[in-house]
Amino acid sequence: MILIVGGGIGGLSLAACLARAGIDCEVVERNPVWTTVGGGITLFPNGMRALDAIGARPEVDAAGLPLELIRLLARDGLELAVAPGEAWDGIGRTVVVDRRALQRALRTAAAAVPVRLGTGVAGIDTHSAGVHVTFSDGTTGDYEVVVGADGIRSTVRRLVFGPPTIRYVGQMYWRTAVAADLVEVATMMFDRDRYVVVFPVGGGVTYVAFQLRSSEPLADAEGTVAQLRARFADFAAPAPSALDAVDGDPALHFGPAEEVVDHLWHCGSVVLIGDAAHACSPTMAQGGSLAIEDAVVLSEELARQRIAAAALEAFAARRAPRAAWVRGRTHQEIEMLNRGVGHLGERSQETKAVLGQPI
């Protein structure tokens, strides 16, 4: 039996993969109800390809919108360029989807896997025969493998490897999905140290995000809608409509972009996937896609290798170079954004060359 800690994108994707492979598993999720953070999500062709492996691609295709074109605007509304969305021959196209719809698709794909909501992990004891786990409700269990899919501040990482080193990367984000049709074409607006994203995601919903460069993380009190409006009041359309749409939105997420500095992904029969292993800034919009890919690769290795430790080592060897490339490229793009530079053409060629390769 395999325990998956965390019912987010990576955890649900892995549950679906393991179920399809006939490998017994269960999921624990610390939240008492299903919830999501951040509004919308962009899944590049590599992420959509990974969804094929878990049977969730048709539902995500139906719920989201293909990213056909992206308008690049300056702060004053001047059109800088119109770029095509990523579409890679033999792999697929980019889709933008409401995170709630993606979660529904993944829950459907993983419907055969037992899930315990409102349950976290309190203790992990690794031994020669596997892993003994103590849960937050006082129950215990023994597992062949434990997978930490529980985010950047992973409890599994802390219990097994010690507290993670988490680094702020100089970006503060406001993100949500609003029930309004704000634009017909996906739009990005650039200014020095700031940018705005307004992407339709289907079903009359629009994903909006505002990013501000800040040398130090801002306090929660500085993340109010009033503060947001003041910081972006000088942007031309469609930014004012996006600001109006988030006014008073309780789902507006505010927080820093951070990355996990540590490169420890597995120990004995415990392994980390997704943000728990390799979180970085969302600038490249690859976090969700990498988590789904992680799930596919880990499932393959667990099905192929008879010894759990060997499977986890093989998984890390396959995934680490890809995650490292995304992190390095993300750092480059952050610097471009800080200068107010639109860079999708350069991104397209290099991203396809690297992430278009088989996982």
Q: What is the DSSP letter of 38?
A: S
Query: Could you read off the pLDDT of 123-133 as tens digits, one per residue?
Result: 999 988 899 99
Select the more confidently predicted residue: 9 or 358: 9
pLDDT at residue 347 is higher than 70: no
| Tokens found for residue 223 | 């993340």
- The mean pLDDT of 153-174, rounded to a whole number, is 94
| CATH class of the domain defined by 2-36+99-166+260-355 | alpha beta
Tens digit of each residue's pLDDT (9 = 90 or more) over 254-312: 999 999 998 889 999 999 999 999 999 999 999 999 999 999 999 999 999 888 999 99
Domains of the chain by residue range: 2-36+99-166+260-355
Which residue, 48, 66, 27, is CA-closest to 296? Answer: 48
Average pLDDT, the chain: 93
pLDDT in tens, 172-214: 999 999 999 999 999 999 998 999 999 999 889 999 999 999 9
Predicted TM-score (pTM) of the model is 0.95
**Average pLDDT score over residue span 243-255:** 87
Amino acid 115: pLDDT: 98
Q: What is the dihedral of CA 43, 93, 189, 252, to 10 degrees?
A: -30
Q: What are the C-alpha distances in Å from 295 to residues 15, 35, 51?
A: 8, 20, 10
Residue that has been written with the tokens 């269990």 in this structure? 141
Q: Is it true that the peptide bond before 321 is cis, omega within 30 degrees of 0?
A: no
User: What proportion of the chain, given as a percentage, has pLDDT over 90?
Assistant: 84
pLDDT of 241 > 70? The answer is yes
Whether 125 contacts 131, CB under 8 Å: yes
Which has the closest alpha carbon to 96: 37, 41, 176? Answer: 41
pLDDT at residue 45 is higher than 80: yes
pLDDT value for 249? 72
Q: What pLDDT, on a 0 to 100 scale, did the predictor assign at position 93?
A: 94
85, 186 contact by CB (below 8 A) = yes
